[in-house]
Structure 1
Amino acid sequence: MNTLLQDLKSYTTNPISILDTTIPFKKYVPLNLSKDNEELFGLDITNYSICQNYIDKVLHDKQGLIAYGGYLEKRNLYNDKEGFTSSTKPIRNIHLGIDYWCAAFTKVIVPIKGVVHSFKNNNVIGDYGPTIILKHILGNHTFYTLYGHLSVDSLDGLFIDKEFQAGEIIGRLGTPDINVNYAPHLHFQIIKDLEGNNGDYPGVCANVQLSFYQENCPDPNILLKLK
C-alpha cells in the first residue's frame, strides 16, 4: 500500500529551498543543538543572544548562510520556558520539526503546493510567534506543513484556503522579540493529523509521547532532501 512517506520521498529527487532561493544549497550547513553536543556545555542557549553567537560561529566555521537541523533532537533550549519543564508533567525537550537558522526577514518559501488551513500569532514566550499552517494533498494523502517564528507581516492578507504554489514566498523570518525569545529561524514541521488544532500544533514533545509524534510528524527532510 502506498504511504504518505513514499509520496513525500518520490515528490522530487532534487533538494527544495525552504528559505530565500538565491541562497545556494551549499550554504545550508548542519547544526547540532542537542543536549549531548559538548560544544554547548556551559552555554546558556536559552538566552537567544548566546544561542545566536553559537550559530554564527558554526556558520562562520562551515562557510554557511543557513544552519539547519533538529528533527527528534533532545535539547536544553527550552529549559527556561514554562510549559516545557513543568514539575507536574513530563519534560518536553524533543524537537519535532527542522529548524532553519538565518538572518531575520529572510524569505520563507513554500516547498509544495497547498492552501492556508489556519494562522495565528502564538505570542507566548517559548511558542512560535506568528505561525501559518498549510494543507496539502499529495496522491491520496492529505497532510499539513507548519511554518513558525515568522514576522508579524507574514500574516497580512492571509485567509483560509488562500492558495500557495510551490516556490512562492509565504512569509519572512521574525526577530527575537516577535518570535518570542528565540534567535531568528524557521520551524518547519510536517503533520499528518492536526488533531483539531488551528494555527498551532506541538513542536516539542516528551519522551513518553515520542512514539505517537514521530509517526504523526515525519522527518521534513524526506520532502526537502537537504542532506
Structure 2
Amino acid sequence: MSSTSFEQFLTDLGNESLYVLDQNISKVNYIALDLSVTNAQLKTVDVSSSDTLGMYIDSYIAMNKAKVAFGGYLEKRGIYNRSDYFNDQNPETERNIHLGLDLWIEAETPIYTPLDGEIHSFQNNTNFGDYGPTIILKHTINTVTFYTLYGHLSLASIKDIHVGQSFKKGEQIASLGAANVNGDYPPHLHFQVIKDMQDYKGDYPGVASQKDLGFYKENCPDPNLLLGL
C-alpha cells in the first residue's frame, strides 16, 4: 500500500472517533503544545530537567484551562540534546525529529487501544531519554496490517501481559509512568503508528535524524490521522 493510500486508510479509521485516553475527555479539553526548537518560550526553560519541563507543561495546560496537551509529530526538538543516546553532535545524523504524537497528562493515567489488536511485543527500554516501558500492538483491519506503539508507560503495564494477547477497541492496555521509570520525562504517552516493524521487538525509533527522515515519515505517518485532535 502506498503511503498516500495508507494515510487515507488511517484517516477513514479516524472518522470512527478513536481514542487512547479516557473517551470522556472532550476534544475541547486538549490543547496543542509546541516543544520545537523554534518555540522562543522554551529558551528560558531548562528542558533537560524533567521537573522543570513538567512545570512548564503543567502551567501551560492550566493556563489554557485544558486537561491534556498534545503534539510533536515531525517536531524538531532540543530536549534530546541531554542524552548521548540521541545526540552525536552531527546535524545530519543527530536524532532530534519526533515521529510520534505526545499526549501530556499525569502519571497513572489509563491508556486504551484505539482499535482491536494484539500484543506484538513489549519491553522496558531503559536508556536515558528512551521510552521506558513500551507496548507495541499489531492491528489487522480489512487485510491491512500495521502497528501502534505506546511509550513511557508504568512498570506495572508490562508485568502481566504476553505476546499475542488480544485487546478490543477501547480496552485499557496500560497506564502512564512517572519520570523515574519513563526515560526521565514529565508523564506523557508517546503514541506512534508504524507500517513496517523491520524486525524490531518492544522498541522502534521514535526520533529520527534529518538524513533518515524521508524513510521514517513514510513508515510512521501522523498518528493524529487516527485520533483527530
**Same fold flag (TM > 0.5):** yes
Q: Which residue of 1 aligns with 2:46?
A: 44
Q: Aligned-pair RMSD on alpha carbons?
A: 1.5
Task: Give per-residue Cα distances to partners, 1:48-71, cap 9 Å, x unaligned.
Answer: 111111111210111111100000
Structure 2 counterpart of 1:194, from 190, 193, 197: 197
Q: Is the 8 A contact 1:75 1:95 kept in 2?
A: yes
CA distance in 2, matches of 1:49, 1:28: 22
Shift of residue 27, structure 1, vs aligned partner:
1.1
> 1:14–1:225: 8 Å Cα contact kept in structure 2?
no
Show structure 1 runs of 4+ deviating over 4 A.
none
Task: Give the residue type in structure 2 aligned to 1:36.
Answer: T
Contact 1:7 1:139 in 2 (8 A): no
Worse-matched range after superposition: 177-186 or 153-162: 153-162
Residue 112 of structure 2 contacts residue 172 of structure 2 at CA under 8 Å; is this kept in 1?
yes
- Cα offset, 1:28, TM superposition: 1.1
- 1:211: which partner in 2? 214
Percent sequence identity over aligned pairs: 45
Question: 2:106 matched to which residue of 1?
Answer: 103
Structure 2 length as normaliser, TM-score?
0.94
2:85 aligns with one of 55, 58, 83: 83
Structure 2: tracts of 5 or more residues without a match: none
Query: Does residue 1:162 correspond to 2:165, yes or no?
Result: yes
Measured after TM superposition, the shift of residue 123 of structure 1 is 1.4
Residue 131 (structure 1) aligned with residue 134 (structure 2): yes
Asked whether the 8 Å contact 2:85–2:127 carries over to 1, the reply is no
Moved more, 30-39 or 85-94: 85-94
CA distance in 2: counterparts of 1:99 and 1:196, whole angstroms = 24
Q: Which residue of 1 aligns with 2:117?
A: 114
Tell me which moved more, 11-20 or 67-76.
11-20
Q: When the two structures are superposed, what TM-score results if normalisation uses the length of structure 1?
A: 0.95
Q: In 1, Cα distance between the equivalents of 2:127 and 2:78?
A: 19
Cα deviation, 1:20-64, whole Å, max 9, x if unaligned, reads: 233222211110000000111132212111111111121011111
C-alpha distance 85-52 of structure 1, shift in aligned 2 (>3 A): same
Please give the per-residue CA displacement for 1:167-199, whole angstroms capped at 9, x wherever unaligned.
Answer: 010100000001021000000000001111000
Q: Is the 8 A contact 1:17 1:25 kept in 2?
A: no
1:18 is the counterpart of 2:20: yes
Q: Secondary structure at the match of 1:86?
A: coil
In the alignment of these two chains, the number of paired residues is 226
Tell me, in whole angstroms, the C-alpha distance in 1 between the residues paired with 2:57 and 2:36. Answer: 13
When residues 7 and 60 of structure 1 are mapped into structure 2, their CA distance, relative to the original with a 3 A threshold, is same
